[in-house]
Structures are given as structure tokens and as C-alpha cells.
Structure 1
Amino acid sequence: MEKEIIIIGGGIIGLCTAYYLQKDGHKITVIDQSNMDSGASYVNAGYIIPSHFISMAAPGIITKGIKWMFNSESPFYVKPRLDADFLKWVLAFKKSATKERVEQSISALKNINLLSRDLYEDMKRSGDFNFHYERKGLLMCYKSNKVGEEEWEIGKRGIKEGLGVKHLSAKEVKVLEPKANLNIKGAVYYDCDGHMTPNHFMNDMTTYLKSKGVVFYTNEKVNELEVFNDKIVKVLTDKRTLIPDEVILTAGSWSPLITKKLGIKIPVQAGKGYGINVEQETKITIPTILCEAKVAVTPMDGFTRFAGTMEIAGINHNINPKRVNSIANAAQRYYNNLEITLEEKKTAECGLRPVSPDGIPYIGKSSKCKNLTIATGHAMMGWSLGPATGKLVSEIISDKKSSLDISCYHPDRKF
């Protein structure tokens, strides 16, 4: 049965959700408060990462976070503030950062990443799109033996989980990356990962959805949700009133501001990340994470992107030059002869990633509203998990058997 569906949020999660719902024959309207040409869905590293099956809320991160809190150039920076939602999120994060909780999350993260990778490849094969996609794996490069040992422990667990993982010496890395001139001790290599150029996909998908009749309202803000009998009966924006059968919330870091209108609290904090595009020839051909610096390097179509940092400091798009410099400086320490110019650093952009306390996304219907499906909280994996999330949401709406057990992603879960 065709349903009138309103999707609030036009980032990667919103567009992928619209893609699968229109395939099921529903009538889709996407509302976004921006012009849909910037933000986390455009600035990210473009990784599809089954290799990242360990939650961000891992043991030891609290200790590191306290140390990094006093360094605005650190990879993970939390700005202390007296805000009730922030303090509740910090407490939930602390509760999640245990060995037991991380162990429980491994299957949840690995399975949804593998599903998403397969769905990206299905889209590419469909002939409907022309976006850049490659599957060259991911190098986790390290400079110190201690970090190398830590990464290999994760790598060995990846092997147990059925992933292709190898521990490489610096010489073996050079065979894979002969011209990048890396200054490292070694790397853990995952052959399961892919990468893309995000703005290519976003533009391709938007064009495709419009050709299929999906309606877009951009630069439009949702002001109110009118509820009757635990159902949203009207979505009121600053320009119009819409009558939905179902509402999908894919508003990323802004999602809690929407759910508050319904008395629903979902713990999400905005995690700011930065990206620098380098158009000069870098000779980098394989996506690489510079482990000690937590910097992601991606060879995209026509440029190389250096991305990183997790800055939890509320919703804002202020560019902190110190954090941009820290990314550039780290890249230059790992790649001999690489120089990121002042002009390139000046073009750096940022995006806000919605971070859940346990590093697992929220996907599902809240028990407090019958026709609201929530899909947010993907943290640094939003790009990777776009298609899988969209597919799972479409299965919820269309009453189909779910591709995965989605109980672990439930938006009402307790911390």
C-alpha cells in the first residue's frame, strides 16, 4: 500500500532511505533545513568500513579523553559545558565504554557495515548511477610498536570475525603503496573496505530521486509536529503544512531537537569533523588511517582528502584553525615530501556527525510515537551505513522481514 512519507533530513541517511522507500512504491517528500550541498555527508572520508567493528566507546577512551580535553588540537576533544543533555550523554558514554558492552556491539557494527557495502555495490551495478566507488581496502598505519600491537590485536579479532586482515611491515606496505613515500613502522591491512567521493554520490542520488518523483523542500525548517493519538498528523515547516502517513527522522545531529517536540529524548551529541582537500598529486592510492593521529586519508576522484578529529562542542560550524593544522601536520609526518599548503588549509570544511553514547546507530520506531521511525546516531560511520540504514527503514515501513536483527539499534534502548 502506498504511503505518504515525510523524511526530515536530506543527508546520506535520508537520501538512502528515500531510495529504498520509493522502490517500494511510496510517495516521498524530503525536507532539509539547508541547501543540501554541505555538511557531514559531503565532508567525510567516504569510507565503507566493515573493519570498524569496535565501538568508539571503548575501554580506555575516557582516560584518553580527559587528557585530550585540555588540548584543542587533540584527535578527540570534548568541550566541557553545563548542559543537562550533554552531561547525560557523557554518563551514558562512560557506561558504554566497557569491555562487555564493546563485545556486545561487535556483531551489530560488523553486520550492518557488510550489508551496507553490498548495497553500495548493488547500486553501482544497477546502471542507475555513475558515482565513484573502489574497493581497495584500508591501511591502518602506525609509527610506534605499541600502537602497532594494539591495532594487530583488533586485526586478529577481525580475522575471527571472518574479515581479511594482514599485518604488514613497512616494506610490505611499500609494495602496496610504492609512490606514497610513507614514514611508518608498519600497518594492519583490511581488504574488506571500500571508498567513494561523497559529493558525487549525493549529487547522483538526488538527481535519481527527483527523476523518480521524490519531492525536495530545501532551506526549510520543521517548526512543529502535531500529534493525535500517539501519531504525527501534521508536519509544520516555516513554509507549509504536510499531512504524513509516516515520518522518518534522519536529521543527524539535529534529531534530538526534533524529538524533543514529541517528548522523546534520544542521546546524541554533535561530533565535528574536518576535511582538507588536496588537489596536488599525492601518489596516494589506498585509503589510510594514520593511527596515532586519528587522521583518515582518502584518494578521491580528482583530489586527496585528509579528514579527522572528533570535536564534541555543541552544534556549530565554526572552523578551528588549530584542528585543521593538526590534521595537516600529522599528514606531513606520515608522508615524506607531502606539503599541504596554507591555501589548501584555508579551504577546509567541517561537518557534524551525530554521536550516540555507545557508538551504535538508532534505527527503529520509538514506542512513544506510532508513525515515527528514527534513523540517526551513526557517529563516524554515517557514510558507511547509509544504504543499510535506508534498507532497514524501508523494511520497517513496508512491513517486510528485516535484513538484520535490528533490536540492537532500537532508539528506546537504555544506557
Structure 2
Amino acid sequence: MTKALVVGAGMTGLSTAWHLQEYGYEVEVVDRVGVAGGSSWGNAGWLAPGKTIPLSNSSLWMYGPTALFDKHAALDVPVRIDAKLWAFVAQFMAHATGRAWDTTMKGLTPADLAALAAFDELEANGVDAESIDAPFIIGFEAEEQAKGFLKEVEGAARHGQEIPFHKISLDEARADAPMLTEKVGAIYRMEGQRYIEPGPYCEAIADSIEARGGTVTSGVEVVEVTSTRKPAVKLSTGEWLTPDVVVIATGAWMPKLAKDLGVTTMIQAGRGYSFSVETAEPVTCPVYLPEQKVACTPYQGRFRVAGTMEFRGPDEPFQPGRIQSIIHTTKRMFRGIDWDSRQDEWVGSRPVTPDGLPLVGATKVPNVYVNGGHGMWGVVLGPISGKMLAKEIATGEVDPILEPFNPLRGHFVGI
């Protein structure tokens, strides 16, 4: 039986491993931390193709410079001498144009359209988890603030998505999101999306992999991947493994292993923060505050609040001030929340590329592949990316969904 080693036990790596099993591969998944130990655990868990859009857009030219000097801004770039960081920022801003946005959206759309069906496939074939259909409530203080968001939704629809979307009253919104205050003066309801509890969902995929004969091992760090006649993988212990196929799915840490494999697109950790709180009344759907850039989701009887795009190194310390900034910008929009009851405070390093497109496919080294660079969209696009990459590995056929995600397309490397 052909052996595949997947490095990384987040949503993308686990999904790739699961689908490789569908093609008859003997699969081993290793991770230096554990299942969902990176950015897959504490994110908002949105399966929202209608919001799976390019991160870089023309509004950054006004917002970005202001954010540098606002400690509560959702975008946080530390002002310090860091050549790799500022090289990434320059490339990221170079894509902040309408033309670049459309190019990236065109590349994302086929994956967006197939994303939810990929979750259905997992759930119908042994993954004991649930993706939950629910409306998304989107709130603004004033109608004027909604222009940018409405433009993004229109752009996604222009590229082929159907996004049921209409304006509702505060009373209508409170049926699902009773915590909204009167400060929320303009509200929209988006249908056709879902959400999950991402950590438990990843654990369910890992359980399914093991139930089908694969292995998922925590505390194993891969430090080198090479290939002569077949791939060779060196562990931090000095041990070498020799699988037939290797998939690197290590998120923001991917350049450490992939930079010598021809994957030269820069990957920057775009760190997000989250925590959960108690609410006076149950919340039954996700809530999004685009102006504050805060995404909220029901989570195990509580309410997960997530936000921030912090461009730092993936292993830098947790910054408590980012949690306080999320509360500062959000508090006036919500009622009935005990902000002092916070649990699960978390930071995760999302792997952001300058052009907003993932890196999924073959490297220049035979039988070594990568799956990552999804930015904020690794959860929603993880299963479809894993499915299509497994198809490429098993059959040699690159599905059209993956063509825009070619990992050998260029740019500079950084971490």
C-alpha cells in the first residue's frame, strides 16, 4: 500500500489525509502540537462562501495608514525594523486594487462554490460532526458604513455566487441575535451559509482517519523534507521517515519546510484572536460587525468573539491588548454579555499570501505537495482543498479548482 505522510493536523491537513484514504493510501498525520493546534482551533468557524473573498482591497489605502496609529484598530502591524514583514506588507498592498480583487475573487470562486458540498461528503462518510445551517446577521451603526460590505457581496455575486441577502429590522435580528443594542442601526441577514465548532470538527476528522486505519500523532516536529528517489522526512529527534508521498500543511509555518521546494510565495502570519463569553439570552446564529471586523459564533453554549488581523511572527507571544481592543470596539454594539466571564482566550496564526490565493499542489520536488496559505479561509476551504489535492496526488490530474492555487506561481518567501 502506498504510504502518505501529512505534516500538519489542522483542517487542511486532516482533510487531505482523509481523502487520500478514499484513494487507498496508508496515511499518517503528524503535528508538532496536536489536532487543530494552530489556526484551526479558535477561529469563528464560519462556512461562509459568500464571505470567502480577497482580504486585500482598495479600502486599505485609507484604512491601513490610520490603523498603524490606532491601538484598537483591527489591523495591527508592529512598527519596527523587520525587512520580511514590510516586504510582505508592500506586496499585500500592491494587491489592494479593484483589478487585483477581481482576479483573486475569480480564482477563489470555484472553490467557494464547492466548499459546502465537501463538508456534506465528510459528514455522510464517517466524520461524526455537524455543519450548522444558520442565517448570518451583519450589523452596522449606520447605513453609510454598509457600502463597502455591500460592494464585496455584489462582487462575489458578480463572479457567480448566489447570496440571499436582505435588510432586516432590529427586532427581526434579535430573534436570532438578542444581544444587539440600539446602536446597531443598519442590519442585514445573509442566508445560505453555515458554521461549525472548528476544534471539535477537526477532532472528528482525526477520529475518522484513525477509525479507517490511519494514524494521527501529536508532538512530532518535522524539520526537513528532501527527495531523491522518494521523499525523506527528518524529525526533530534526528529520525528519518521515507513515505511515498508527503503533504506539507503547516499553515503559517509552511515556509520553514517549503522554501527549498520551489514554493516562493511569501506567507505571513495574520494572527487572529478570540475568546468566549456568556450571554444573557442564547444566540442561535453567527453575527458579524464589519466596521469593527469582529466575527461571532455560538460555541458550546457560549458566544465566541473573534477578530484582529495582526501581522507578527507565528510564534510571538500572545498580546493581551488585542483582546481588550476587540472588547473596546464591540461593547457598545452588544448587551447582556458578561465581558469578565471570558474563557478560551486564544491567538492563532493564519497563513496569509500577498495575492489572497492559497498554495495547493505539487512542489518542484517529486511526490512532495503543499496545502496551505488560505488566510482566514482555511476552515471553509480546507475540505475542498484536501479533496482536490488528494485527487491530484492519486491521479495526476489538477482539477480546475486548484489551477489558481498553483504553489509554484512566484513571489518572495518569508515568515
Query: 2:65 matched to 1:93?
Result: no
1: CA distance between counterparts of 2:301 and 2:116?
23
2: CA distance between counterparts of 1:278 and 1:296?
13
Quick check: 2:231–2:368 contact (8 Å CA) kept in 1?
A: no
Distance change in 2, residues 1:269/1:158 (3 Å): closer
Quick check: 2:286–2:298 contact (8 Å CA) kept in 1?
A: yes
| Cα offset, 1:207, TM superposition | 1.3
Query: 2:331 matched to 1:335?
Result: no
Query: 2:368 matched to 1:369?
Result: no
| Cα offset, 1:69, TM superposition | 1.7
Quick check: 2:3–2:244 contact (8 Å CA) kept in 1?
A: yes
Query: 2:395 matched to 1:396?
Result: no
Residue 207 of structure 1 corresponds to 207
1: CA distance between counterparts of 2:248 and 2:37?
19
Distance change in 2, residues 1:264/1:84 (3 Å): farther
Quick check: 1:256–1:268 contact (8 Å CA) kept in 2?
A: yes
- Structure 1 residues 231-380: aligned runs within 5 Å: 233-239=231-237, 240-262=239-261, 264-341=263-340, 343-344=341-342, 347-366=344-363, 368-380=364-376
| Cα offset, 1:244, TM superposition | 2.1
Which runs of 5 or more residues in structure 2 are unaligned?
none
1: CA distance between counterparts of 2:50 and 2:256?
32
Quick check: 1:47–1:194 contact (8 Å CA) kept in 2?
A: yes
Deviations 1:73-124 (A, max 9, x none): 2101112444443233223212222111111122322321231211112322
Quick check: 1:155–1:165 contact (8 Å CA) kept in 2?
A: no
Deviations 1:294-320 (A, max 9, x none): 000101232210011010011225222
Residue 380 of structure 2 corresponds to 384
Task: State how many pairs are aligned.
Answer: 408
Residue 44 of structure 1 corresponds to 43
1: CA distance between counterparts of 2:76 and 2:174?
35
Q: Higher mean Cα deviation, 109-118 or 395-404?
A: 395-404
Distance change in 2, residues 1:221/1:158 (3 Å): closer
| Cα offset, 1:291, TM superposition | 1.3
- Give the % identical residues: 24
Distance change in 2, residues 1:291/1:263 (3 Å): closer
Deviations 1:217-269 (A, max 9, x none): 321211222332xx653111023211122211100000001123446433100
Residue 123 of structure 2 corresponds to 124
Residue 196 of structure 2 corresponds to 196
| Cα offset, 1:159, TM superposition | 4.2
Partner SS, residue 310 of structure 2: strand
Partner SS, residue 339 of structure 2: coil
Deviations 1:174-233 (A, max 9, x none): 3653633443112233212110111221221111111112123321211222332xx653
Distance change in 2, residues 1:182/1:115 (3 Å): farther
Aligned CA RMSD, in angstroms, stands at: 2.2
1: CA distance between counterparts of 2:170 and 2:263?
53
| Cα offset, 1:402, TM superposition | 4.9
| Cα offset, 1:63, TM superposition | 3.4
Partner SS, residue 225 of structure 1: strand
Letter aligned with residue 353 of structure 1: R
Quick check: 1:54–1:109 contact (8 Å CA) kept in 2?
A: yes
Quick check: 2:109–2:161 contact (8 Å CA) kept in 1?
A: no
TM-score by length of 1: 0.91
Residue 218 of structure 1 corresponds to 218
Which runs of 5 or more residues in structure 1 are unaligned?
none
| Cα offset, 1:398, TM superposition | 0.9
